[in-house]
Structure 1
Amino acid sequence: MSKVIVIGPPGSGKTYLSEKLKEKGYPAYDSDKVEGLFYWSTKDGKQIIKPDNSNIDWYKNHKFMWHRNFLEDFLADKKDLFLFGFSENVYEMIDLFDKAFYLYLPEEKVNERLVNPARNNDFGKKSDERDEVAKWLPSVHEEAKQHGLTFIDSTLTVEQIEKKIVG
C-alpha cells in the first residue's frame, strides 16, 4: 500500500467508502472527520467559522479549504493510508500522495444520492444546493481529468472500488 487520496463530488460515496474500508481494517480516513485539516474561508482567504444556519448564498461566498501544513504533519508518521475527501484547494495537496483517484458519478446519480435519507451530510438535501452542484459538476470532472487522476465509477460496489484503489 501507499498514501492514497480519493476525491469526488458530493454524494460520490467518499464518507461511505472510508467507513467501509476502515471496517475492513484499512487505515482509511474521511477528511471531514480529521480535526484540524479543514476550515472555511471568505473568498479573500479570511478564515471563519461556518454558521449553523448557512444557506446556498453563504456557500457561494465561502470556500471549504484544507491546511497543507496540517496535512503534511498528519501524513508524516503514516506509511500507508487512504484519505477520502474534497476541498477547493485539494489539487494543491495531490503531490503529498502516491496515488490519486476520482470517484466519478453522473449528475442524475449525484442528485439521487444527495437526497438519500441515509446520508449523514446535510449539504445537497435542499433543491437549491443540488442545483448549485449541477452547475459546477462538469468543471469538477474536468479538473480531475486535467490533473491526471484515475477515474473510478462510483456506482461500483465497495469491493470493486477497493480492488481498484488498494491495487
Structure 2
Amino acid sequence: MHHEIPKKTSFIDLNLLTFILENFINKIKNVTNLSLSDNQRLIEWDSFINRLGLLSFLQELIINNCGIEQIKLPDQDFNVDSNKLFQSLKYVYTSDNKISSYSSLISLSIPRNPIYGLNQFENEIAKQMIIAFLLNLTYLNRVIINQDERRGAEINYLEGYAQDNFDKK
C-alpha cells in the first residue's frame, strides 16, 4: 500500500545559521517547503546548502536575504553525485542575495541581485539572457514566461552570439 507523505513546511528564518549539519537534514527529511531566509551568515551554497539536496521531498526552497554569492552544485570530489541532489526541487526564491550565476530551474525569483543592471535596458538584457540560458525555466520573478518572450530572448541571444563571433574574426 502506498502512503502519501504529508506536505510539511519549516520556517527557520532569522536564526543566525552559519552552516547546516547532516543530523539537521535527518531531522527534517520529510520537509517539502523550507525557508531559511534572513540568515545573513549562511553565505556558502556549495558546502552547506547542497546538503539540503539530500531532502528527497523538498520542492520549494526560500533563501532570501542570506548573503549567498553563487549557486554551486558539487564537483566529483564531493561524496554525492550532483544529479542526485534536489531531485524534487521546483521552486527556489533567492531575493536580496549576492548571486551572479544560476543552475537550470523551472521557477526562479531573483530580484535585487547583481545579475541585474542599473537601468531598465540592462535589466531587460539580463532577463533575456536568463530566459535564453535556462531552457526549462517557466517562471522568472514569479511571472510566467510566454512562448513569444522565450523565442525573442533566444533570438536576441543568438544574434548577439553571432555578432560576437563575427567581431572576433
Comparing both structures, which one devotes a greater share of its residues to helix?
Answer: 1
TM-score, length basis structure 2: 0.32
Quick check: which has more Rg, 1 or 2? 2
